[in-house]
Amino acid sequence: MLAFLLMAGRLFVVQIVESPSYARLAAAQRQKVVEFPARRGSVLDRHGRPLAISVDLQTVFVDPTLIDNPRAVASQLSGILGASPQVLERKLRGSFPGSRFEYLARQVQPAVAREIGALDLPGVFMRAEPKRMYPNGSLASHVLGFVNIDGEPQEGIEVQYDDILQGRPGRMTLEQDPGGRPIPQADFSYDPPRPGHSLLLTIDKDIQYFTEQTLAEAVQRYRASAGTAIVMRPETGEILAMANVPDFDPSRPGDFPAAARRNRALTDVYEPGSVYKIVTVAAGLAEDLVKPSSEFVVPPQIQVADRVIHDSHSHPTETMTVRDIITQSSNVGTVKIGQALGPEKLDAYVRKFGFGNPTGLDFPGESSGIVVPPELWSGSSIANIPIGQGVAVTPLQMVTAFGTIANRGTWVEPKLLYGTVDSKGDVRSTSPSTRRIVPQRVGDQMTKMLAAVVTDGTGTEAQIPGYTVAGKTGTAQKPLPGGGGYGNQYVASFGGYAPVKRPQVAAIVVLDEPDPHYGGLTAAPTFKAIVGHALRELGVPPTGSIEEAVEQLDAAQDGTQPAHD
Amino acid sequence: MSVRPSPVSKRASSGRADLRIVKRRSRRLIRRSPSTRSTPLVVAGVILVVAAIFGILLEQVLMSQSAFKLGKIRERMIAAQSRHEDLIFQVSQLESDARIESYARTELGMVDADPARTEFIVADIKYRLGNRLARSGGDNPSRLRPGQGTGLGLRSGP
């Protein structure tokens, strides 16, 4: 009777109390879950041409316990895989006794996989693994970033939009017999993988290519240590090209130093020098402290606190208009406008133009730049900052400032991502945010003065045949490491836009330590080549004379005709 | 069909036989052995069981075949998708600007345009023509060489 009770009790425990756990164990024994990796979305240029795509490649692996003659197999495979027979033989013997899995080669090309499959070697297996491929080589590598061999994103767009690109893996749950064969009529569920969405960038592949080529040639010709160029549409903030030299191949990023993989256009800051004068002068015009025709007595140098500021070219004390100050890039004249503004107003405009904050491009590692608040200024800061010293900006911030002038005073958030494309091909895009920085009349006044820089001033090398151009040169001394003043190395730059009437392209070129070091002689001709090509590529018709463009801007200010029709 | 005679009473046997036609009422009147009676049922049952087993086996075979075919189709679909992606990749490589430029320069003899010999056609002919005619009397501005007629010396060379 007691034994019966014990048995009944045990039966109760097994059947009722522990039933769910036993059921789980049984299910685990016969159930098999197969995961299907989701296809990573592609990265496309603005016309839908692939910049980064995922392709299934075969990975070759081996079960060493099934290999009878490792030496013979190694010699068979070495020719196909291009690896030494000794290395392969070591793998075929296993990295430890009893090893049942060793990689022979990961992500081999389809032709190689076919050859290995044809050998039909026992113990040698293959499985498909998606590999990220960049069909254009190093094109836009700093924008795209790269993924590692396991498909994990490491830098650039690949990291920033990984949640959109990666998709969701699928799962198939089935029941199998002890031999591992699926049981047809048993429980079966299949949740298909959801492929990642593709990204449609604002980058134009052709403009990007030409920009990279031209920048690389400029860096070589002027023996610069590095260079950056950005091309954007000022009206929409869309970045058409973003190039850096040196660059790298995202298919094999490990072969390049970390410095070559850095997107200098966003992550590196530099003292901009004279291109920054557009901020000071625009602020002076917006505050009605000066007009383009306002005159200043400009000596060849000026002392402010402990610093003496010189003009780049010696000249006697002379009277200059604001227009002259910009076209001749007078440091002394610009300092006088800065002094008229005062620290608070100058700082306010610097920040309104977007300096000291990320632009909102939504890119990993974007720098805010360095803008010192007025309360921390030294006595000479009011002399340094108006001419672009004592501040640090990114090339992207600077080109966005030029875009603001091109847009007649409206700042437009730059954007690299035009939208996402789902598996059905539907595109979803967002519009950038905008804000007014200076009145329209200031934008027009600045445009006329910047056009004069290119026709009569320091930027004549930026003239593009057939088009009107507005822009500003910059030649900035590089600060010595540790903050001990300035050395004899320079950053040359040129920023601007074209055509003057209704600008379609804004761009900046920054060359690090070129020879000659003047922005007007190195960055300006590079700008000319890049923007000239971009205008033609975008189908912008040649615009004729600068006189007519200026006339139209004058008419717009008089209210007789819209400047941008 | 047979009719069994009704039992003959003793009284009838002594005289004229009392013969009657007996109307058949049912088959129950016919006696059979129990084994003979259940035979059709057993046969039918066996047939049914065999049919059921055969049906289940057939279903198993068909399901196995379908699962096998489905697996093969899925494999082919994955292979086709891989091939599709590989082809997209190859097309992208062939469309690469670097490859096209290299091919054009080395194989087709492409050279850069000479900026000094390039003419730029001004687009908004009507507007400019009107302005120019009013200003200088007849100079057709629709085809301008770089620097020509601007008065500002737009330079065409590097």
ipTM: 0.71
User: What is residue B4's predicted lDDT score, i.e. its pLDDT?
Assistant: 54
Nearest to B115 among A128, A210, A465 (CB): A465
Mean pLDDT value of segment B83-104: 90
User: What is residue A39's predicted lDDT score, i.e. its pLDDT?
Assistant: 81
To the nearest whole angstrom, how far is the Cα of B48 from the nearest Cα of chain A?
A: 23
A274 counts as catalytic: yes
Structural domain of A144: 33-56+129-201
User: What is residue A24's predicted lDDT score, i.e. its pLDDT?
Assistant: 83
B123 neighbourhood in chain A, CB within 8 Å:
541-543
Please determine, for residue B33, whether its predicted confidence score (pLDDT) is greater than 70.
Answer: no
Domain boundary among A182, A201, A220: A201
Strand partners, B143: B121
B98 neighbourhood in chain A, CB within 8 Å:
136-137, 139, 209
Mean pLDDT value of segment B61-90: 86
Nearest to B96 among A135, A210, A546 (CB): A135
Nearest to B97 among A209, A466, A544 (CB): A209
Give domain status of residue A261, yes or no.
yes
Q: For residue A394, what pLDDT band results from cuts at 50, 70 and 90? A: very high
Q: Give, in order, the Cα–Cα distances in Å from A461 to each of A16, A221, A559.
A: 89, 16, 33
* CB-CB under 8 Å, A205 with B82: no
- Measured CA to CA, the distance from residue A357 to residue A362 in angstroms comes to 12
Give domain status of residue A117, yes or no.
no
A251 shares its domain with A353? yes
- Three-state DSSP at A52 gives strand
* CB-CB under 8 Å, B147 with A544: no
A190 shares its domain with A224? no
Please determine, for residue A23, whether its predicted confidence score (pLDDT) is greater than 70.
Answer: yes
A312 shares its domain with A433? yes
User: What is residue A463's predicted lDDT score, i.e. its pLDDT?
Assistant: 92
Count of residues making up chain B: 158
A179 shares its domain with A228? no
Give domain status of residue A74, yes or no.
no
- Residues sharing a CB contact under 8 Å with residue A545, sequence separation 6 or more, in sequence order: A468, B144, B149, B150, B151, B152, B154
Please determine, for residue B156, whether its predicted confidence score (pLDDT) is greater than 60.
Answer: no
**CB burial string A273-295: b at 16+ within 10 A, e below:** bbbbbbbbbbbbbbbeebebebe
Q: Are strands B120-121 and A170-175 parallel, antiparallel or unpaired?
A: unpaired
User: What is residue A142's predicted lDDT score, i.e. its pLDDT?
Assistant: 96
* Residue that has been written with the tokens 């789902």 in this structure: A422
- Three-state DSSP at A374 gives helix
Any CB–CB contact under 8 A between A177 and chain B? no
Please determine, for residue A98, whether its predicted confidence score (pLDDT) is greater than 90.
Answer: no
Any CB–CB contact under 8 A between A128 and chain B? yes
Please determine, for residue A96, whether its predicted confidence score (pLDDT) is greater than 70.
Answer: yes
Give domain status of residue A70, yes or no.
no
**Number of independent structural domains in chain A:** 2
Phi (first) and psi of residue A54, to 5 degrees = -105, 135
Q: For residue A129, what pLDDT band results from cuts at 50, 70 and 90? A: confident
Percent share of chain A, pLDDT over 70: 94
Q: For residue A95, what pLDDT band results from cuts at 50, 70 and 90? A: confident
User: What is residue A53's predicted lDDT score, i.e. its pLDDT?
Assistant: 92
**Burial (CB count within 10 angstroms: exposed 0-12, middle 13-18, buried 19+), residue A272:** buried
Whole-number mean pLDDT of chain A?
Answer: 89
Q: For residue A384, what pLDDT band results from cuts at 50, 70 and 90? A: very high
Q: For residue B40, what pLDDT band results from cuts at 50, 70 and 90? A: confident
Domain boundary among A201, A219, A245: A201
List the 94-133 stretch of B: residues with Cβ below 8 A of A. 95-98, 115, 118, 120-124, 128, 131
* Best residue in B85, B110, B129 for a mutation probing chain A (most A CBs within 10 Å): B85
* CB-CB under 8 Å, A456 with B152: yes
Compare A557 and A387 and report the one with higher pLDDT.
A387
Asked if residues A459 and A327 have their Cβ atoms less than 8 Å apart, the reply is no
Specify the range with the lowest mean pLDDT, choosing from A176-180, A223-227, A377-381, B36-40.
A176-180
CATH of residue A47: 3.90.1310.10
Q: Omega into A439 within 30° of 0, i.e. cis?
A: no
Mean pLDDT value of segment A529-546: 88
* CB-CB under 8 Å, B88 with A184: no
Any CB–CB contact under 8 A between A53 and chain B? yes
B66 neighbourhood in chain A, CB within 8 Å:
184
Give domain status of residue A266, yes or no.
yes
Provide the CB-side half-sphere exposure for A111 (13 A, CA): 1
Any CB–CB contact under 8 A between A251 and chain B? no
A255 shares its domain with A197? no
Nearest to B123 among A137, A210, A541 (CB): A541
Mean pLDDT value of segment A204-211: 96
A455 shares its domain with A402? yes
Any CB–CB contact under 8 A between A543 and chain B? yes
Asked if residues A510 and A271 have their Cβ atoms less than 8 Å apart, the reply is no
To the nearest whole angstrom, how far is the Cα of A66 from the nearest Cα of chain B?
A: 26
A334 shares its domain with A314? yes
- Residues sharing a CB contact under 8 Å with residue A40, sequence separation 6 or more, in sequence order: A54, A130, A132, A151, A165, A166, A167, A195, A196
Percent share of chain B, pLDDT over 70: 57
Mean pLDDT value of segment B71-100: 87
Give domain status of residue A113, yes or no.
no
pLDDT in tens, A318-329: 999 999 999 999
Give domain status of residue A22, yes or no.
no
A436 shares its domain with A454? yes
Please determine, for residue A546, whether its predicted confidence score (pLDDT) is greater than 60.
Answer: yes
DSSP E strands in A446-558: the ranges are 470-479, 486-498, 505-512
CA A379 to centroid of chain Cα atoms: 37
Most confident option among A76-80, A100-104, A478-482:
A76-80
Nearest to B85 among A54, A137, A139 (CB): A54
- Measured CA to CA, the distance from residue A104 to residue A124 in angstroms comes to 9
- Residues sharing a CB contact under 8 Å with residue A30, sequence separation 6 or more, in sequence order: A175, A176, A177, A183, A186
Please determine, for residue A483, whether its predicted confidence score (pLDDT) is greater than 90.
Answer: no
A195 shares its domain with A219? no
CA B38 to centroid of chain Cα atoms: 54
Asked if residues A476 and A274 have their Cβ atoms less than 8 Å apart, the reply is yes
| Chain B residue whose CA is closest to A210 | B97
* CB-CB under 8 Å, A542 with B121: yes
A169 shares its domain with A46? yes
Torsion of CA A382, A383, A385, A387, to 10 degrees: 150
* CB-CB under 8 Å, B147 with A465: yes
A258 shares its domain with A370? yes
- Based on its alpha-carbon atoms, the radius of gyration of chain B, rounded to whole angstroms, reads 54
- Measured CA to CA, the distance from residue A510 to residue A112 in angstroms comes to 44
Compare A176 and A515 and report the one with higher pLDDT.
A515
Please determine, for residue B22, whether its predicted confidence score (pLDDT) is greater than 80.
Answer: no
**CB burial string A509-548: b at 16+ within 10 A, e below:** bbbbbbeebbbbbbbbbbbbbbbbbbbbbeebebbbbbbb
Neighbours of A73 (CB within 10 A): 22
A114 neighbourhood in chain B, CB within 8 Å:
none
Strand partners, A319: A297
Mean pLDDT value of segment A233-253: 95
What ranges in B95-149 are assigned the alpha helix state H?
A: 97-106, 125-136
- Residues sharing a CB contact under 8 Å with residue A394, sequence separation 6 or more, in sequence order: A265, A266, A267, A268, A269, A359, A366, A367, A369
Q: Are strands A226-232 and A505-512 parallel, antiparallel or unpaired?
A: antiparallel
Please determine, for residue A35, whether its predicted confidence score (pLDDT) is greater than 90.
Answer: no
Any CB–CB contact under 8 A between A187 and chain B? no
Compare A435 and A556 and report the one with higher pLDDT.
A435
Residue type, A188: F
* CB-CB under 8 Å, A466 with B120: yes
B124 neighbourhood in chain A, CB within 8 Å:
541
Domain boundary among A146, A179, A201: A201
Most confident option among A161-175, A489-503, B109-123:
A489-503
Q: Of A42, A54, A138, A274, which residue is the catalytic one?
A: A274
Which pair of tokens denotes residue A341? 């503004």
- Based on its alpha-carbon atoms, the radius of gyration of chain A, rounded to whole angstroms, reads 32
CATH of residue A518: 3.40.710.10
To the nearest whole angstrom, how far is the Cα of A137 from the nearest Cα of chain B?
A: 8
B69 neighbourhood in chain A, CB within 8 Å:
none
Closest CA relative to residue A474, chosen from A536, A430, A517: A517
Any CB–CB contact under 8 A between A562 and chain B? no
A311 shares its domain with A179? no
* CB-CB under 8 Å, B93 with A545: no
Any CB–CB contact under 8 A between A174 and chain B? no
| Chain A residue whose CA is closest to B91 | A135
B121 neighbourhood in chain A, CB within 8 Å:
541-542
Please determine, for residue B62, whether its predicted confidence score (pLDDT) is greater than 60.
Answer: yes
Mean pLDDT value of segment A159-188: 77
Specify the range with the lowest mean pLDDT, choosing from A101-105, A127-131, A163-167, A518-522.
A127-131
Specify the range with the lowest mean pLDDT, choosing from A36-40, A195-199, A344-348, B104-108.
A36-40
Compare B128 and A453 and report the one with higher pLDDT.
A453
Compare A125 and B140 and report the one with higher pLDDT.
A125
Compare A403 and B3 and report the one with higher pLDDT.
A403
User: What is residue B7's predicted lDDT score, i.e. its pLDDT?
Assistant: 54
Percent share of chain A, pLDDT over 90: 61
Give domain status of residue A464, yes or no.
yes
pLDDT in tens, A552-561: 666 666 654 4
Specify the range with the lowest mean pLDDT, choosing from A42-56, A103-117, A202-216, A325-339.
A103-117
* CB-CB under 8 Å, A463 with B155: yes
Nearest to B154 among A133, A209, A465 (CB): A465
